[in-house]
Structure 1
Amino acid sequence: MSDLLARHRAVLPDWLALYYNEPIEIVSGKGCRVVDASGKSYLDFFAGILTNMIGYDVPEVREAVERQIATGVVHTSTVYLLRGQIELAEKIARLSGIENAKVFFTNSGTEANEAALLLATYARRSDQVLAMRQSYHGRSFGTAGVTGNRSWRNNSLSPLNVHFLHGTDRHLPQFRGMTDAEYVAACVEDLRHVLATAAGGDVAALIAEPVQGVGGFTTAPDGLFAAYKEVLDAEGILFVSDEVQTGWGRTGSAFFGIHGHGVAPDMMTFAKGLGNGFAVGGVVARGDLMDAPHATGLSTFGGNPVAMAAAGATLDYVLDHDLQANAARTGTLIIDGLREAAPRLPIVGDVRGRGLMFAVELVDPATGEPAPALAARFMEESRKAGLLVGKGGLYGNVLRMAPPLTLTTEEAAEGLGIVVAALEAVNEEVAP
């Protein structure tokens, strides 16, 4: 493994993050478990960054892909009719709840968000965009510009004129102690003030994650996005919901995360879990917005036949097995268990989540300040115990977990036990 790591470092960029002091190579997987090159098995609570949405080696997905490959056609491009693309677009348009919806397929969430920003700025003839503090929308020039987390931005340059809003930052002194209603009111007044002062003329859109992924699974309180949309609608400003991590029933309470906030957006972007590991992303938007751009467009690889076969089979599996309900059931088991354990663990600053998208924020038990070193220590402890999790948050101190939606109650209990035991071990190391 040390040889493979050395080769990685020799030919891949230094900023390409690797987990763990001794990074692992995953060589096989089945269900919610993976095996590394040493033969060690892990229960996977991060699923390839929320991408292996229904687990590993799923027969329905594998067989759909094999059938497509057997035709000899793995690529033709969008200049030809693609039956699988049309059929999948029909399903997504119907599920989206967006009026007269149309779909454009891409290869990733970054590219999907770029497409949505293009549609919005074209429709509104404006380069001004609203985004959320602590957000993450991708690694390209435009999407980095609407990312509100300095750790994921290489410079201040952007093709867009971006204004960042409050909504997931209740830890700041000016908001501490506020009720949900008071916080929502303060955020809405700030939005009105931004539009009256910082914005010059028309604003194209607000792009927001219903649950912030890289931000540490932080979320706006119920009612905030609905209140924001009232202001936006009055100004003609579009609402783009970034569903790259929250879509397809993961939050348990709604099939798309923004619907759990009672908001019908003008556009939604998606990627990650839909392909269950195959590269697929896209935008679903009002037909008038999607049809508006005058320039000729296509996507060489977006919506290719193999990716569409995988995505179609994945979406059917989610719907046929009611995995949204399973996310609500197993997620509640884990989140409740974490909240029950938290009071006796001073390093736990917060437990939050919806469905199978939950997080534990770690803090210094003496000061209450973010403790990224403890998060790194937890990662090593949980890996040793056979559990893979993710890490993030504005300060790098949040443990992010999002198992496959096929997680059983037995696996949920097993994973919960490992998380609590690892937290206890780290807590004991630093407890005064």
Structure 2
Amino acid sequence: MMKANQKRIEGDINELAAFNATPGKGLTRLSYTEEYREAQRYLRMEMEKLGMSVRLDAIGNLIGRLEGTNSGRARHNEKNMTGRKDEPVQGDPKLPALAVGSHLDSVLNGGIFDGNLGIVCGLELARMLQENSIQLSHPFEVMAIVEEEGNTFGSGIMGGKAIAGKLDESLLDLLTDAGGHSARQAMIDFELNPTSIDTVKRSPADLAVFIEPHIEQGPVLESENLSVGVVDAIVGIRTREIEIVGRPDHGGTTPMHLRKDAVTAMSEVINEARRAVDDLDDGTVLTCGCVHVEPGTVNVVPGKAVFSVECRSRNQESLDFVFEQVHGVLDGLRERGFSILEKTLMELAPTHLSERVTAALKRGMSTCGLTEKVLTSGAGHDSMCIAGVTDVGMIFVASRDGRSHCPEEYSSTEDIADACNVVLEALIELDQVL
């Protein structure tokens, strides 16, 4: 069986980690910065060494491409009767590509594996295809996608949205960085042409499959002593900011039954939401991570509470159910004289990934002698947008201690190599059946 080269994988990960605005404090590589440009330059150099054509699209996604061949579908080059290897014949350039990749940007002071791992897997797969003389009929692409994390302009998955044709050009003027510079200006300074953002869009006619290898960012695989798992769905996310206004009163002289305590009202909402999630028992999760209380004094009944309620689930019905229970409590609070305001912070529907690609990845795990494990992604990824235009699959690699978005983030090169081996088997199968 063909195996990925762990030394090369480690080398690529470490090389990309060097392009960093905060050495010694985790990886910080924001989109359209000088360190981001240097990381792209390294990837371009490695892609060109492999004979890939390389382009930078209008939003800044870097794409390396190996053309397909028509001398045989995904097979090793056979010797002909003269004892010489047949030269591969250029394939049909109109065939849609099989692509592997992830995002190149990072969070502030994050880890060196998030995003980078998927791009490094793509590079390693290109090398494996060549050194094993594997001829795919379809073109093969490695994609390094821009601005997934959203740390620069406060709006994530921009590169993925553009690939899906869901990024409105006018938004580029509204999104600004910490210095007040617009996304449009940042792209222009990066020598891109944001007025051509519509040219980034892909379709099934030119992109047959996208596979995103990614760190799990959670503890499940490691807890089960598994190196990789196949993702079949990405959770939907519904986030609301709720403001409850009661009445501030003296904390010693106001009887309990006469209070309009915004904090106890907030606790009713949170507790009911938690009960609803527990009743579902389907992997749905709830987080209430932001709380602001006024006046915030130990001896004053809280008059206002502003808090977040975020629910994530692979099932749209579960998201709806949790917030039905929340709204039931809020209606009751209004009847008791509380003022309620609700604001939507995020609304993303669950994404169910391609059954065909997921099945191919599962068979790849079996071929590689790995235990089959299917996971739901609890975090958002470029894949959730790209799934709107073509067949998408994801494979997770175990994260040590489940850590991510921090300097302690780590996945072993052995586990990353397992992911490469699985994806290669899936690509060979998909090349034959598409």
**TM score, norm. by length of structure 2:** 0.28
Q: Which has the higher strand share?
A: 2
For the pair shown, the structure with the greater C-alpha radius of gyration is: 2
**TM score, norm. by length of structure 1:** 0.28
Q: Which has the higher helix share?
A: 1
